[in-house]
Structure 1
Amino acid sequence: MPTENPPIDRDKSHLTAVDEEAVRLADVLEDHPGTSGVTDADTRGDIVFTAAGGTWVLDFQSGLDGEVFQNPSSAPAPADGPAADVLRDVVVPALLAHPAYRAATADGDALTVHLATGRHYALALTPAA
């Protein structure tokens, strides 16, 4: 029987807000039946996971103001690319099933995640090299 990791003590944690969000996002993807698991979630916030017969990297993107977490009024510019099916069929449904996320929208290889707090952030999905 696997042991569970204790919850993060936010007063003692050295994780940044992006790191904490990367851990939560990795956990959500790991628990989703459409993925074969998360292989890495590093300190830069990149999340590596396997889904739809490939290995993918979700990378946090800075917004127009240089911050990862954006105010509700600013919208990241979507990109275009080959990862739309994985975002639409795997990542978005996994996020929408979790109460921390109000909405998740995919456009090409770009994903915009809206948190229950009202803020949002953008990620880019690329095939792992």
Structure 2
Amino acid sequence: MTTQFPPIDRDKSHLTAVDEEAVRLADVLEDHPDTSGVTDAGAAGDIVFTAAGRTWVLDFQSGPDGEVFQNPTGAAPAPANAPAADVLRDVVIPALLAHPAYLAATADDDTLTVHLATGRHYTLTLTPAA
């Protein structure tokens, strides 16, 4: 005998789209072999994890229209060479690209741009935890 669970009613969910995406990002990073200590996503969408011997915070950023998720735009930023960029390039981007929900991810210094398979994108900044 199996128990049937009712489908999730998105209208009644207490999670926003940003919260849901932060939880998914935290899960993806938690599964990556080069990260450890991933916390669950905070209310503001912050994701804290340990990589390359330091603790980092990924934080969602608002776009030019004030929205976190933006519509598709033109060129993606070119990768840079800085400590945060190294962690984004070597740890975060490979973890995301291994998941089917993410079409592309690029790093520009301490900024990560994530392109979803749905065609939308958003940006995050990576900073060392205090």
Specify if TM > 0.5: yes
**Residue 32 of structure 1 aligns with which residue?**
32
Closer, same or farther in 2 for the Cα pair 1:122/1:67, shift >3 Å? same
Deviates more, 1:84-93 or 1:36-45: 36-45
Which letter does structure 1 place at the counterpart of 2:54? Answer: G
Question: Which blocks of at least 5 consecutive residues in structure 1 are unaligned?
Answer: 1-5
Whole-angstrom distance in 2 between the partners of 1:24 and 1:115: 12
Counterparts of residues 98-113 of structure 1 (less than 5 Å) = 98-113=99-114
Question: Which blocks of at least 5 consecutive residues in structure 2 are unaligned?
Answer: none
Does the CA-based 8 Å contact 1:84-1:108 persist in structure 2? yes
Does the CA-based 8 Å contact 2:77-2:108 persist in structure 1? no
Q: Give how far 1:36 is off.
A: 1.1
Q: Give how far 1:126 is off.
A: 0.1
**Which structure would you say has the larger Rg?**
2
**Residue 3 of structure 1 aligns with which residue?**
none
Closer, same or farther in 2 for the Cα pair 1:43/1:77, shift >3 Å? farther
RMSD: 2.2
**Residue 122 of structure 1 aligns with which residue?**
123
After TM superposition, the score normalised by the length of structure 1 is: 0.86
Q: Give how far 1:12 is off.
A: 3.2
Report how many aligned residue pairs link the two structures.
Answer: 122
How many percent identity over aligned positions? 82
Which letter does structure 1 place at the counterpart of 2:25? Answer: L
- Of Structure 1 and Structure 2, which has the larger fraction of its residues in strand? 1
Q: Give how far 1:41 is off.
A: 1.5
**Residue 13 of structure 1 aligns with which residue?**
13
Whole-angstrom distance in 2 between the partners of 1:88 and 1:56: 14
